[in-house]
């Protein structure tokens, strides 16, 4: 479990205000991007990692970006497009104008941005067609900074928390409608919150809860900070609800299961996680795949941010990156 005092680590965002992609150099180095290859950014976010991958692919290459959040995809399109004057940019089935005016821009790869979960990877990609997969599992700055999305406990907003705001249950529906025991289990399992039963009991007694501020007040009253605790008392409960609402761990397992099938021999998988639940799933999946002869492990221990990066971007302190190569 991370111990930072901010809400949630963020991803994506080349050029986004106040945002720096986490472990950018390390991720690109482990991907070992080959010119003309096909690479998949499973969590394109605002386009930070994607831009660095695209720079190395060249015109023969193809970059595919997934994201559940249509707003993030729209920003990613803008963040990627100015670099290439919108050349070779594809969003779903819509192909933009090809306006490259010089050799550098004409060497930009084909970029396809897809609205959906990377859990659909196995259904969308043919076997052994991908040279590399990057998955940065943090929440984007776009989501955190918009109070209307409900991700942050530091701003008043509706209890939504859906990465895809067009489908699925909201956090408000979960908080107000599931029974106390199930709610406690969600908070304990996905937030690793030892005070889960006390918090769930307080939430049920305070229903209906409709805003982030109401929920924060209920949690803060029920679970006062423990001695030496460095995080806000609502951190783990908000994390748990977000993971539950967005099926994040199930989607991660689906990605890890599909990756060996779609990667070419020599293809690389790089995953950046931000809390112990994610990292444990990635570590165990890679270990099991190595035993099955599917991967060569590239990181015996997770790669973490340098002190310089943490000083520049405090959210990076909880990032852990693991990488493997398909054999």
pLDDT digits (tens, 9 = 90+) for 167-208: 999 999 999 999 999 999 999 999 999 999 999 999 999 999
Three-class DSSP category at 22: coil
Taking the C-alpha atoms of residue 60 and residue 64, their distance in angstroms, rounded to an integer, is: 13
pLDDT at 84 over 50: no
Q: For 28-61, how does the pLDDT look when each residue is reduced to its tens digit (9 = 90+)?
A: 999 999 999 999 999 999 899 999 999 999 999 9
pLDDT at 101 over 60: no
> What is the number of other CB atoms lying within 10 angstroms of the CB of residue 56?
17
Taking the C-alpha atoms of residue 267 and residue 128, their distance in angstroms, rounded to an integer, is: 9
The residue that leads in pLDDT, 91 or 279, is 279
Question: Does residue 175 contact residue 212 with C-beta atoms inside 8 Å?
Answer: no
Question: Does residue 41 contact residue 64 with C-beta atoms inside 8 Å?
Answer: yes
Taking the C-alpha atoms of residue 282 and residue 270, their distance in angstroms, rounded to an integer, is: 10
Q: For 256-292, how does the pLDDT look when each residue is reduced to its tens digit (9 = 90+)?
A: 999 999 999 999 999 999 999 999 999 999 999 999 9
Taking the C-alpha atoms of residue 104 and residue 243, their distance in angstroms, rounded to an integer, is: 41
Q: What is the mean pLDDT of the chain?
A: 87
Q: Note the pTM of the prediction, 2 decimals.
A: 0.88
Encode burial over 265-281: b for 16+ CB neighbours within 10 A, e otherwise: eebbbbbbbbbebbbeb
**Domains of the chain, start order:** 24-142+248-326 (3.40.50.150), 150-246 (1.10.150.170)
Q: For 110-164, how does the pLDDT look when each residue is reduced to its tens digit (9 = 90+)?
A: 999 999 999 888 777 899 999 999 999 988 777 888 999 999 999 899 999 999 9
| pLDDT of amino acid 96 | 41
pLDDT at 3 over 70: no
Q: Render 175-236 in DSSP notation, one character per residue.
A: HHHS-HHHHHHHHHHHH--TTHHHHHHHHHHT----BHHHHHHHHHHHSPPPTT--S-TTHH
| pLDDT of amino acid 316 | 92
């Amino acid at each position: 479990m991370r111990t930072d005092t901010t809400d949630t680590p963020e991803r994506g965002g080349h050029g986004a205000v106040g945002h720096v992609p986490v472990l950018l150099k390390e991720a690109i180095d482990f991907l070992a991007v080959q010119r003309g290859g096909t690479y998949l950014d499973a969590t394109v976010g605002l386009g930070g990692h994607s831009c660095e991958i695209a720079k190395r692919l060249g015109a023969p290459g193809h970059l595919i970006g997934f994201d559940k959040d249509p707003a993030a995809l729209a920003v990613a399109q803008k963040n990627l497009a100015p670099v290439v004057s919108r050349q070779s940019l594809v969003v779903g089935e819509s192909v933009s104008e090809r306006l490259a005016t010089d050799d550098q821009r004409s060497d930009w790869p084909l970029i396809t941005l897809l609205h959906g979960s990377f859990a659909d990877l196995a259904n969308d990609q043919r076997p052994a067609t991908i040279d590399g997969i990057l998955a940065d599992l943090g929440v984007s700055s776009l989501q955190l900074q918009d109070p209307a999305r409900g991700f942050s406990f530091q701003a008043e907003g509706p209890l939504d928390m859906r990465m895809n705001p067009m489908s699925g249950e909201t956090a408000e529906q979960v908080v107000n409608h599931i029974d106390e025991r199930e709610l406690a289990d969600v908070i304990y399992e996905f937030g690793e919150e030892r005070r889960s039963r006390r918090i769930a009991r307080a939430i049920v007694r305070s229903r209906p809860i409709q805003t982030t501020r109401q929920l924060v007040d209920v949690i803060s009253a029920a679970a006062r900070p423990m001695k030496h605790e460095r995080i806000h008392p609502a951190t783990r409960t908000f994390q748990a609800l977000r993971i539950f609402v967005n099926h994040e761990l199930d989607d991660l397992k689906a990605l890890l299961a599909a990756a060996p099938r779609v990667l070419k021999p020599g293809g690389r998988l790089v995953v950046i996680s931000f809390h112990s639940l994610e990292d444990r799933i990635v570590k165990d999946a890679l270990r099991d795949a190595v035993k099955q002869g599917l991967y060569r492990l590239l990181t015996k221990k997770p790669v973490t941010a340098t002190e310089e990066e943490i000083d520049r971007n405090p959210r990076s302190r909880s990032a852990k990156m693991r990488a493997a190569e398909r054999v």
